[in-house]
Structure 1
Amino acid sequence: MRLMPVKPRAGGQEADTGSSLSLAAIDDPVELAKTMMSMYERDAMFYRRIQDQNKVACRVLLEMSGIKGLVEAGQWAQCLDRIRSLEILPLDAAGDGSTIRAYASKFSGLSQPVSINVPNLLMWTIICCVRQREQLTSGQFSGNEGTRRLMVDQLKQMTLDLTTYTSQLRYRFPPHLHEALARASAE
């Protein structure tokens, strides 16, 4: 997705860096968010006026954008680590129902821009779990067999935990997500 840049000023006036025109010339929403956050963080007058929940939401969305890039690059393990660090999905639950319920109850507390992107985050997590398992089972891992088997089992458990998580938030996710989880759990 690209934004439509504003036309340059008439009369050949140059825009200062950080001015509204130079910000409007940025056509990438992710780059615009990064620029705005860094600009606001430099000026305490602006920074104090931004609500904490909006700062957190922007940082989480920027992190999700980075995760999307890792998925596109095929960096499955790094991607799972960064998804885990967001603490939105129960990747460390290891089958513990109370932990999964705690994550499900946190969902309603997420800001709206973040919560509407959780289905994407779930799909990326499923893709990462499946592809990382495929890598491990195809022999691209040079560790011992016990460690490899343990990692494969952990990835399988993650998909089962995500299935439990989405079932507790039944009508908040699109049907194709439930189908993808069912396929990943069956493999």
Structure 2
Amino acid sequence: MDNPNIFDIVEDHPEWLPEGSDINKKKSAAFVLLCISTCLEIPLEDAAELITEGGKDTGVDGLHVGEVEDGEFLITVFQGKYKVKDLEGEAIVEDMNYTRVLVGRVSVQEIHRLFNDHGDKLLERNIRRYLGLHTNRVNTAIHETLCDPQRSDKFYFYNNGITEVCDKFDYNAFQKSDYKVQLKNMQVINGGQTWRKP
């Protein structure tokens, strides 16, 4: 695997990761796997055998015992944390006329989760309802971009985004980026075509 990343490992080699884990735990294990491989300069397949992440691991995610030399051996313990971001990157927040605007990026996975949790209720005030895949070339192009590994990371630049309104939102203003934003009575008012794609 040339220049592997955690997403490649999760998708192409689930057998290297703890069984039954949710996607974020699999990403965390893949991150540790990459660290072990890099630090010990060993192939990913060999590093996978050193993963101990799972129940009752006492906080140790990976363990390597070196060769015995002069009656001594080196033990390397790996422990990692992979943070899942809530709102990715920096955001702009501005107050004007007793209202507040937040502009930022949200992962496609988070949009997908919200839609799975709340469905079409989120689109009740949308300007246009979802127009479908097979009869709309724009929606087809959105879908193709998301499914193409060569272009999916450019989705942010190919799409003009989603506009939402809400009664209230809260975030930690002391953070510089990656906000966890809580919204009350959120509604998508433009971007329903994008919303339905993830």
In terms of fraction of residues, the more strand-rich structure is 2
Higher RCO (CA < 8 A, seq sep 6+): 1
TM range (shorter): under 0.3
Alignment TM-score, normalising by the size of structure 2 = 0.23
More helix by share: 1
Could you tell me the TM-score, scaled by structure 1's length?
0.24
Larger Rg, first or second structure (1 or 2): 2
